[in-house]
Amino acid sequence: MFRAFRDELQYIRRHREYLLLLTLLPMLSLLFFYLFFRNTAIEKLPIVVVDYDHSNTSIQLVEMIDATASVSVAYSALDTTEAEQLIRSGRAYAALIIPHDFERYVLRREPCQVVLYNNGTNISTNGFIEKDLQTVITTFGAAISLKTGQSLAQIIPVRIEQQILFNPTLDYAAYLAPCFMPMMVMIFTILGSVMATAERKRRGVKTLIGRVLPTTISMTLFTLMMVVVLFTLLDVPLNGSIWIILAATALLIIDYQAIAIFLSLLTNNRHIAISLGGGYAVLAFTFSGLTFPTMAMAPILQFLSHLFPFTYYMQIMVEQALRGVPVAISIPNLGYMALFTLVPIFIYKRL
């Protein structure tokens, strides 16, 4: 086993791409996600305002909107056609239309409506704009209604005390970085392990283990760096146990090495094994249900989601980083992950 390990190191030295994928490429991916997520705040999304009223009141409303965190009134258009153009050309995410006689209605204490056309092709920007404008208009309207002698209970009968759990600032870095970075661990583990085992002479379990060991070591070091970047540089909350996260990542590496060995020996073709393994790795993101819930998928796809160790890994990550659940709750998921190390049994004859 040790000899196989030593020979593998020699082999890596002679293969530039193999060496790169265990050293420079993981670093590069880590650097990318660090720089990308360093300060992801959805702020100052440009919108266009069509103010048909041009009154003090409407200008006051526009100023209030411009002062919100997520929206910036970047354009003012003469009519809806021009506003529509700005949305279609991608320069504005939404258009707000203030009607004629807006001020007159307000001064007369008559109800009136402000109209928002919000681009739905990006549901994140849509959500932020909708939420902030709804808040501004409600506040603006409530202030006027209170002057007319209506009570707060009439305007907003039930107030929601919102408690945003686990990621109170709705930080995209805390939401996505703990998923994307381990995905890189997973992808490079598969690539390295396929390079170590496909189209190679001499087999035997010990030789195989010796050969994938450099990948194991490289990915372990990568994991440690990832944890530092995630929880100290990017300030992702760590409300649970770092040890469970590390154990899960170790299992993630071993799982995908087992899967890579399975694919390598099944196909004994390097680029087909890499293609299949790479596809399997990239699809894992969707099936983890982080961005779109698995429960909303068809039953067959819900079943498929259980065939990715990454699904269990993401649950553990969310539980231990964000949710801070008791360690005992994450143990079964670690158990499921451990099962995937047995995948090579399906091809034991070729081992």
Q: Binding to other proteins (CB under 8 A): which residues in 204-243?
A: none
Between 76 and 134, CB nearer to other proteins: 134
Between 18 and 340, CB nearer to other proteins: 18
Please give the C-alpha separations between residue 217 and each of 259, 302, 319, 320, in angstroms, as whole numbers: 17, 33, 26, 24
Distance CA 8, CA 145 (A): 76
Which one of the spans 7-15, 211-219, 225-233, 253-261 is the region binding other proteins (CB under 8 A)? Answer: 7-15
157 lines the binding site for other proteins (CB under 8 A):
yes
Which residues have CB under 8 Å from 35's CB, separation 6+?
none
One residue of 122, 203, 232, 350 binding other proteins per CB under 8 A: 122
Sign, Cα dihedral of 100, 103, 107, 110: positive
Phi, psi (rounded to 5 degrees) for 43: -130, 150
Which one of the spans 217-225, 244-252, 325-333, 337-345 is the region binding other proteins (CB under 8 A)? Answer: 325-333
102: left (phi over 0), alpha (psi -120 to 50) or beta: alpha
Sign, Cα dihedral of 52, 54, 56, 59: positive
One residue of 56, 161, 299, 349 binding other proteins per CB under 8 A: 161
290 lines the binding site for other proteins (CB under 8 A):
yes
CB of 214 to other proteins, least distance (A): 15
One residue of 80, 118, 220, 341 binding other proteins per CB under 8 A: 118
Token reading at 204: 């035997």
One residue of 141, 336, 338, 351 binding other proteins per CB under 8 A: 141
Q: Which of 346, 191, 196, 342 lies closest to 255, judged by CA?
A: 342
Sign, Cα dihedral of 314, 322, 177, 44: positive
126 lines the binding site for other proteins (CB under 8 A):
yes
Which one of the spans 212-220, 242-250, 254-262, 288-296 is the region binding other proteins (CB under 8 A)? Answer: 288-296
CB of 89 to other proteins, least distance (A): 5
Token reading at 112: 């009136």
Angle at 313 between CA 246 and CA 327, to 5 degrees: 60
Token reading at 225: 């760096």
Binding to other proteins, residues 172-191 (CB under 8 A): 172, 175, 180, 183-184, 187-188, 191
Between 14 and 348, CB nearer to other proteins: 14
Token reading at 91: 């320069």
Binding to other proteins, residues 39-98 (CB under 8 A): 40-46, 85, 87-90, 93
CB of 8 to other proteins, least distance (A): 11
16 lines the binding site for other proteins (CB under 8 A):
yes
Radius of gyration of the chain (CA): 27
One residue of 6, 67, 78, 110 binding other proteins per CB under 8 A: 110
256 lines the binding site for other proteins (CB under 8 A):
no
| Binding map of other proteins across residues 257-276, x = CB under 8 A, - = no contact | ---------xx-xxxx-xx-
Q: Name the strand (E) or helix (H) holding 96.
A: strand 94-98
One residue of 301, 327, 331, 345 binding other proteins per CB under 8 A: 301
CA 79 vs. chain centroid, Å, equals 38
Q: How many residues bind other proteins (CB under 8 A)?
A: 123
